[in-house]
Amino acid sequence: MFLKPVTSLDAWGALIYAAKVGHNYLGPLFVLGLLTMLIKWFKNNLFNKVDWEWFKQGGGILPNGKHPQAGFCNGGEKVWYWLLATAGVVVCVTGLIMDFPIFGQLRSDMQLANIIHAVFSLGLIAAAMGHIYIGTAGTEGAFEGMATGYVDETWAKQHHGLWYDEVKDLPENQAENQVGSDRSNA
């Protein structure tokens, strides 16, 4: 929509064709990636009483200044997990229905799948914008945690205190000023 008026019709056509074909092939890889993450982090994302407190305190952004407790994942991270486990799976299933028209699905089924796919995927993109902000500029130290797999002890205590208590005495975590356990493997 934005590029069409400022590019040649040929360049615009080539670009959207490449985007469409790229999406057709990358979609199934997204399915594998999503399923791997959902399986890997399932046990860390079951809700418990601690999360209820986390929600009551607005995840720490309310003006009363309290920083709610959290384990490996906090309440907000768990909501994002379950959004991906539901809406994300809908996007995958409808994508596969469109990608592989070899299971007897009708054109009308694929049209319906296209509409559901567009609504859920755009909803996920909107939520992802907030998620990306919180995971980078919005929370000091979060980006370094993702990039290196390590967080420092103060950050661990502040943001995931219950997880910190669980892992702080493990032998591999005795290096000075570091919680040396890779959060992605905990």
**Contacting residue, 118, 126, 146, 170, with ligand HEM by CB under 6 A:** 118
**Contacting residue, 79, 84, 91, 151, with ligand HEM by CB under 6 A:** 91
- For residue 173, the minimal CB distance to ligand HEM (Å) is 35
**Residues 2 to 41: which contact ligand HEM by CB under 6 A?**
20, 23-24, 27-28, 30-31
Stretch that binds ligand HEM, among 40-48, 60-68, 87-95, 143-151 (CB under 6 A): 87-95
- For residue 22, the minimal CB distance to ligand HEM (Å) is 11
Instruction: Determine the Cα–Cα distance for residues 7 and 133; give it in Å rounded to an integer.
Output: 31
Rule CB under 6 A: say whether 173 interacts with ligand HEM: no
Other Cβ atoms within 10 Å of 76 Cβ, number: 19
Specify the residue, 20 or 43, whose C-beta has the smaller distance to ligand HEM. 20
Instruction: Determine the Cα–Cα distance for residues 66 and 62; give it in Å rounded to an integer.
Output: 8
Phi, psi of 178 (to 5 degrees): -135, 135
Beta bridge partners of 178: 152
Q: Rounded to whole angstroms, what are the CA distances from 177 to 4, 53, 142, 152, 185?
A: 53, 29, 17, 6, 19
